[in-house]
Amino acid sequence: MDAAWYGYSYFQGYYFSKPVILSAKGIPSNKLTSLKIFEEINKREINYDELETLILKDDGLCFKLMRLINSSSLGMRNRVNSVK
């Protein structure tokens, strides 16, 4: 059976190229900044301004923290829009 029997004479597979499947693990976080945050949290007197600055330096950590806080599992009534 040739292709003309099916009503076409040419067949093309992928239009331009084979599709590439992208996989991402997420936004990476900075390990040094995480250690500094742990150090700040373990102090007897926490400096919340310094803690905010450290969290805002790390985009991945900030994103994950905001996503966690605003998740429905915590049951917050209002949406949190800033780290402060």
Residue 49 pLDDT > 90: yes
The proportion of the chain whose per-residue pLDDT surpasses 70, expressed as a percent, equals: 80
pTM over 0.75: no
Tell me what the mean pLDDT of segment 4-32 comes to: 70
Cα separation, 6 vs 15, whole angstroms: 20
> Which pLDDT score, from 0 to 100, does residue 48 have?
93
Burial call 21-39: b when 16+ CB within 10 Å, e when fewer: eeeeeeeebeeebeebbee
Q: Which two tokens stand for residue 8?
A: 């076409």
